[in-house]
Amino acid sequence: MLMTGDALNGWTPQTFASDTTFRLPYSPDHALLARRLRTEVLDGRGFAVVTGTPAGTMSTRAAQEFATSMLGHLGEPLVQGRGPDTSLGWLVRDEGVSSYTDDRRFHENAYTSKSRGYLHLHNDRAVQPFGQEPDCVALLTHRKAMRGGASVLVDGWTVHRILRESSPHALDLLSTPYPVDRRHVTPQGESPVVWAPVFEQADGRVQVRCNLKRIETAGELTGEPIPPHQRAALETLRQVLARPELKLTIPLEEGDCLVIDDRRVLHGRTSYEDHSDAARRRCLVRVMLRCAPGAEPPAADVYAAREVFHLVRPIQA
């Protein structure tokens, strides 16, 4: 859907009169729910929170199946993971991974989804995880943290507008390819570096690929530092992303499912403290989706049958 006018300028937290603006009550009619999500997420503001799903009352395995089945009506769930460790419903939970080494350097091999630290703003498709370019990313809250762990969103279209108005030269540079380090999600036999512009026009819309940490560390792989003029453009982008007035913070309750247009909206997370009882610890189910425009996805049951569950793997420390 081609969007014009104010919608293309993006939102800020002040755009929403209240949280209810972007909350969507759960319906067991998943086809109906998907139609509503399509309107609100893909053709609307770029995200929505489905509230009141039964995921909080389920076993973890059942929550994975439920997430894949429910969201399979919105798009095609994409495989996450590598080798024998693959899943359509990826578990986002603290498995002792730190995103930073002891000297506070970003730890490029870590799955940040398996940590409990603060997560910087990014979108998942920036690293083309496991060879996929998701259109949507959904996070279903199975268990919430004892404290913290809220999602933080920034509209990439708003960032694009600000750069267009205040730093057009930086925006031009950010529309040229940058290397992105994807060591942690490289498919078998493929390059650990992908090249892509941060902003590009596609299908009449601005699309975003943004992961500043992973662009920073990509130089270690290419052997070439990013030229000063491109580095300056990244710094301009970093300063816009740091503006608190652009950040929408959403605490997710058990059963809430955050659905994001990953081509548009950046996401991050506040750090959290977990319960001492292992059974109560924070656990989200992440589903990545390909949502072809206008395409009716196949019946969701197909995905339940194809599901390969996340297996315990050695922690990448």
Residues that bind Fe ion (CB under 5 A): 124
Q: Residue 288 or 291: which CB sits closer to Fe ion?
A: 288
Closest distance between Fe ion and the C-beta of residue 215, in Å?
15
Closest distance between Fe ion and the C-beta of residue 306, in Å?
23
Q: Residue 69 or 123: which CB sits closer to Fe ion?
A: 123
Which of these, 213, 218, 212, 187, lies nearest to 198 by C-alpha position?
A: 212
Q: Residue 258 or 300: which CB sits closer to Fe ion?
A: 258
Tell me the Cα Rg of the chain: 19
Spatial separation of the C-alpha atoms in residues 217 and 221, rounded to whole Å: 8
Phi then psi dihedrals of residue 207, to 5 deg: -120, 145
> What residue is closest to Fe ion based on CB?
124
Closest distance between Fe ion and the C-beta of residue 223, in Å?
27
Closest distance between Fe ion and the C-beta of residue 122, in Å?
6
Closest distance between Fe ion and the C-beta of residue 312, in Å?
21
Q: Residue 206 or 266: which CB sits closer to Fe ion?
A: 266
Q: Residue 68 or 112: which CB sits closer to Fe ion?
A: 112
Q: Residue 124 or 254: which CB sits closer to Fe ion?
A: 124
Closest distance between Fe ion and the C-beta of residue 118, in Å?
13
Q: What is the 3-state secondary structure (H, E, C) of the chain?
A: CCCCCHHHHCCCHHHCCCHHHHEEECCCCHHHHHHHHHHHHHCCCCEEEEECCHHHHCCHHHHHHHHHHHHCCCCEECCEEECCEEECCEEECCCCCCCECCCCCECCCCCHHHCCCCEEEECHHHHCHHHCCCCEEEEEEEECCCEECCEEEEEHHHHHHHHHHHCHHHHHHHCCEEEEECHHHCCCCCCCEEEEECEEEECCEEEECCCHHHHHHHHHHHCCCCCHHHHHHHHHHHHHHCCHHHCEEECCCCCCEEEEECCCEEEEECCEECCCCHHHCCEEEEEEEECCCCCCCCCCHHHHHHCCCCCCCCCCC
Q: Residue 233 or 288: which CB sits closer to Fe ion?
A: 288
Q: Residue 94 or 124: which CB sits closer to Fe ion?
A: 124
Q: At what angle do helices 60-71 and 30-37 cross, to 10 degrees?
A: 60
Closest distance between Fe ion and the C-beta of residue 194, in Å?
16
Closest distance between Fe ion and the C-beta of residue 34, in Å?
22
